[in-house]
Amino acid sequence: MNMMSAVRCSACAAIFLLTAGGTPSLQAQAPANPGPLTLWYPEPATPKIVTNRFGTGYTYINEALPIGNGKSGALVTGGIGEELLRLNEISLWTGDDKTGGDDKKMGNYQALADLTVRVGSTNPASGYRRDLDLASSKAGVSYTQDGLTFRREYFASHEADIIVGRFSADHPGSLTGSVAVKDTRTDPSASVTSEGSLLLLRGTLTNGMAYESQVLVRHEGGEISAHDGVIDFKGCNAITLLVAAGTDYVMDPARKFRGENPHAAISKRIKTAGSRSYEDLLAAHEKDYLALFGRMTLDLGISSPEQRALPTDKRRLVAAKVTDPELERLIFQYGRYLLISCSRPGGLPANLQGLWNDSNTPAWHSDYHANINIQMNYWPAEVANLSECHTPFFDLVDSQLPYWREATAGASDLKTPEGKLTSRGWAVRTSHNAMGGMGWKWDKTANAWYARHFWEHYDFTRDAQYLKETAYPLMKEVCGYWEDHLKTLPDGRLVVPDGWSPEHGPQEDGVSYSQEIVWDLFNNTVKASAALGTDKEFRDKIASLRDRLAVPGTGSWGQLLEWMQEKKDPVLDAPNDHHRHTSHLFALYPGNQISVQETPSLAKAAEVSLKARGDVGDVREWSFAWRCALFARLHEGDAAEGQIRRFFGATCPNLFGNHPPMQMDGNFGITAAIAEMLLQSHENGIRLLPALPQVWGQGSVRGLKARGGFDVSMTWENGKLVTAVIGSTHGGSVAVRYHESSIAITLKAGESVTLKLTKNDALTTR
52 — pLDDT class (breaks 50, 70, 90): low
Contacts of 33 (CB under 8 A, 6+ apart): none
Q: Classify residue 4: in a domain, yes or no.
A: no
- Give 347's DSSP letter: S
Q: What's the rounded Cα separation, in Å, for the pair 104 and 96?
A: 9
- pLDDT (average), residues 4-33: 34
Of 259, 294, 329, the residue at which a domain comes to its end is 294
pLDDT at 171 over 70: yes
Q: Give percent of the chain above pLDDT 90.
A: 87
Q: What is the mean pLDDT of residues 19-45?
A: 62
Lowest average pLDDT, out of 185-189, 197-201, 617-621, 698-702, goes to 185-189
Calculate the CA 613 to chain-centre distance.
25
- At 22 the pLDDT is 32
**Using one digit for the tens of pLDDT, what is the confidence trace for 342-400?**
999 999 999 999 999 999 999 999 999 999 999 999 999 999 999 999 999 999 999 99
Residue 158 pLDDT > 70: yes
Q: Tens of pLDDT along 643-653?
A: 999 999 999 99
Domain housing 754: 697-764
* Range from 362-376, 545-559, 568-582, 682-696 carrying the lowest mean pLDDT: 568-582
Query: Helix (H, G, I), strand (E, B), or coil: what is residue 166?
Result: strand
State the Cα–Cα distance between residues 378 and 23, nearest whole angstrom: 42
Distance from C-alpha of 559 to C-alpha of 609, rounded to nearest angstrom: 5
The model carries a pTM of: 0.95
Lowest mean pLDDT: which of 15-29, 356-370, 697-711?
A: 15-29
Task: Please write the tens of the pLDDT for every residue from 588-607.
Answer: 999 999 999 999 999 999 99
Percent of the chain with pLDDT over 70: 95
- The CA-CA-CA angle for residues 7, 662, 577, to 5°, reads 170
Number of domains comprising the chain: 2
Residue 163: Cβ-neighbour burial (10 angstroms; 0-12, 13-18, 19+): buried
DSSP 30: P
Q: At what angle do helices 637-648 and 665-678 cross, to 10 degrees?
A: 160
Distance linking the first and last C-alpha atoms of the chain: 72
Gap between the Cα atoms of 420 and 412, Å rounded: 9
**pLDDT at residue 433 is higher than 50:** yes
Widest pairwise Cα distance in the chain: 85
> Exposed e or buried b for every residue in 588-616, given b needs 16+ CB within 10 A?
bbbbbbbbbeebeebbbbbbebbbbbebe
Report the distance separating Cα 171 and Cα 453, nearest Å: 54
Q: How far apart are CA 275 and CA 29, in angstroms?
A: 25
Rounded to whole angstroms, how far apart are CA atoms 334 and 674? 12
Whole-angstrom CA distances from 546 to 99, 516, 607, 681 are 34, 10, 24, 22
The predicted pLDDT at position 30 comes to 38
Residue 562 covered by a domain: no
pLDDT at 31 > cutoff 70: no
Confidence at 104, pLDDT banded by 50, 70, 90:
confident
Between CA 69 and CA 345, with CA 660 as vertex, the angle to 5 degrees is 20
**Three-state SS sequence of 168-232:** EECCCCCEEEEEEEEECCCCCCCEEEEECCEEEEEEECCCCCEEEEEEEEEEECCEEEEECCEEE
Q: Which amino acid is at 212?
A: E
**Is residue 720 situated within a structural domain?**
yes
Query: Residue 33: which pLDDT band, with cuts at 50, 70 and 90?
Result: low
Angstrom CA distances, 694 to 55, 301, 324, 634, stand at: 44, 11, 13, 16
DSSP 473: H
pLDDT on residue 32: 52
How many CA atoms are closer than 13 Å to the CA of 695, on its beta-carbon side? Answer: 19
Q: Among 31, 275, 90, 244, which residue's Cα sits nearest to residue 157?
A: 244
Segment 653-702, tens digit of pLDDT = 999 999 888 999 999 999 999 999 999 999 999 999 999 999 999 999 99
In a domain, 370, yes or no: no
In DSSP notation, 565-628 reads S---SSSTTSTT---S--GGGTTTTT--SS-TTT-HHHHHHHHHHHHHH-SSSS--HHHHHHHH
Question: Can you tell me the mean pLDDT for 129-157?
Answer: 96
pLDDT (tens digit, 9 = 90+) per residue, 139-150? Answer: 999 999 999 999
Last residue of a domain, one of 254, 278, 294: 294
Mean of all residue pLDDT scores within the chain: 93
Pairing state between β 686-688 and 732-738: parallel
Average pLDDT over residues 411-431: 96
Confidence of residue 618 (pLDDT cuts 50, 70, 90): confident
* Average pLDDT over every residue of 163-187: 91
Residue 503, pLDDT above cutoff 60: yes
Distances (CA, A) of 516 to 137, 586, 721: 39, 7, 34
Q: Considering only 14-18, 376-380, 688-692, 726-730, which range has the smallest mean pLDDT?
A: 14-18
Which one-letter amino acid corresponds to residue 665? D
Identify the helix (H) or strand (E) that includes residue 12: none
Q: Is the peptide bond prior to 188 cis by the omega test (within 30 degrees of 0)?
A: no
**Burial degree of 372 (CB within 10 A; 0-12, 13-18, 19+):** buried
Exposure string of 6-31, with b = 16+ CB inside 10 Å and e = fewer, is bbbbbbbbbbbbbbbbeebbbebeeb
CA–CA dist 97, 207 (Å, integer): 10
* pLDDT value at 468 more than 90: yes
Question: Cα 254–366–5 angle (5° rounding)?
Answer: 105
Report the amino acid identity of residue 358. D
User: What is the per-residue pLDDT across 60-77, written as a single tens digit (0 to 9) for each?
Assistant: 999 999 999 999 999 999
Q: In what order do the strands lie in the sheet with 679-680?
A: 679-680, 686-688, 732-738, 741-747
Is residue 272 a part of any domain in this protein? yes
Residue 280 belongs to a domain: yes
CATH of the domain at 223: 2.70.98.50
Task: Give the number of residues written for the chain.
Answer: 766
What is the pLDDT averaged over residues 742-753?
97
3-state DSSP call for residue 289?
helix
- The arithmetic mean of pLDDT across residues 183-205, rounded, is 89
Mind spelling out the 3-state secondary structure of 674-704?
HHHHHEECCCCCEEECCCCCHHHCCEEEEEE
Task: Please say which residue of 230, 260, 294 terminates a domain.
Answer: 294
Give residues with Cβ within 8 angstroms of 355, minimum separation 6.
68, 70, 71, 72, 73, 88, 89, 90, 341, 342, 348
**Residue 133 forms part of a structural domain:** yes
Q: Tell me, yes or no, whether 760 lies in a domain.
A: yes
At 122 the pLDDT is 87
Mean pLDDT for 85-104 is 92
CA proximity to 427, closest of 418, 245, 413 = 413
Examine the pLDDT at 13 and tell me if it is beyond 80: no
Distance CA 674, CA 43 (A): 30
pLDDT per residue as tens digits for the range 312-334 = 999 999 999 999 999 999 999 99
Quote the strand ranges of 478-600, DSSP E: 487-488, 494-495, 499-501, 504-508
